[in-house]
Structure 1
């Protein structure tokens, strides 16, 4: 389990927002985080990744402390085994599609599988500027998967894809996640995205985690 109890004050154009989260997430499972814009969903992902430090609280993953405000301890980002799919993709402009994957993985067969999963094999030698928005988004997902992370954090990862391609990709990803026993936390505004049996959903509001179903 991922046990989270934290407070983080976030400066926004509307003033200061207090992100308060006191909940647990299942490991080796997919959890969707729903909720309106501006309540701190992206910030919560960045806190889990170690990119943002909470003001108060603690985070524990399968019995291991990742953050403790009382002792001023924060597990290093590189030691958390986290993959992150950012909203802005955060791709390397001078690296080809294939080079992005080789940066995180030396297993040629696995790289080929990732390219096939995302229907990107024909673009292996393209640079990000030579890709469409949807292709860049798929590359961002593959790049995060290339390291076979224990925890995969995905921030609106399918927003630039058409419905048919998204459905095919999600089917492949669910198989891969099950094989690798990946813990996935996915931020989305789409109610039925990556939904179904065995997938958990929570709703983040200004009051914190408001509902679980």
Structure 2
């Protein structure tokens, strides 16, 4: 993996120095920021070997959350335009049951998903979140289907997954999120898994990592991307 860019390194260094100045690190008694059903607000920065992404969340009331991410690649795309990506999601939690509206896209593709999850606390530290979503994908470009002469631009989707989290008593967390998306036009599944974690530097700052892996299918290539992250909560 290439060296992390200067902006992320400076951000991590800044919050690390702030943490050293804070000698009273408080456990996260009320919320663990790795919990997808938690309510909080934050701003962060993520960096892979080729992309930078701004991350933000805004939480209010009884379990309302808005997630907004905006990223860009270091290099322009084949058409000489900025290679950007985005994600906006509204999430509502109600007594362990959550539902969301999720829009993900880039310059050429937009995907919208609607569905939900349910939280099961296995122990004080281990939680499971089964998820099920349905939606639609729309593309400006023809998407080829492997071992076939067919292509498609639009398709309905069904996605199922499981988010499993271990929450440490001091507020740190580890998680794994395997999922599979059925693309009806291709008549095939795209398996994916995301694993990661976060470490609380002090009561309102964290650094973390995640690894995204996509398996090969009729419409996807095998790919693994690692990210480093830094976030401030308020």
The structure in which a higher percent of residues are strand is 2
Larger radius of gyration between Structure 1 and Structure 2:
2
User: Is the TM-score greater than 0.5?
Assistant: no
Q: Which has the higher contact order (CA 8 A, sep 6+)?
A: 1
Q: TM-score, normalised by structure 1?
A: 0.30
The structure in which a higher percent of residues are helix is 1
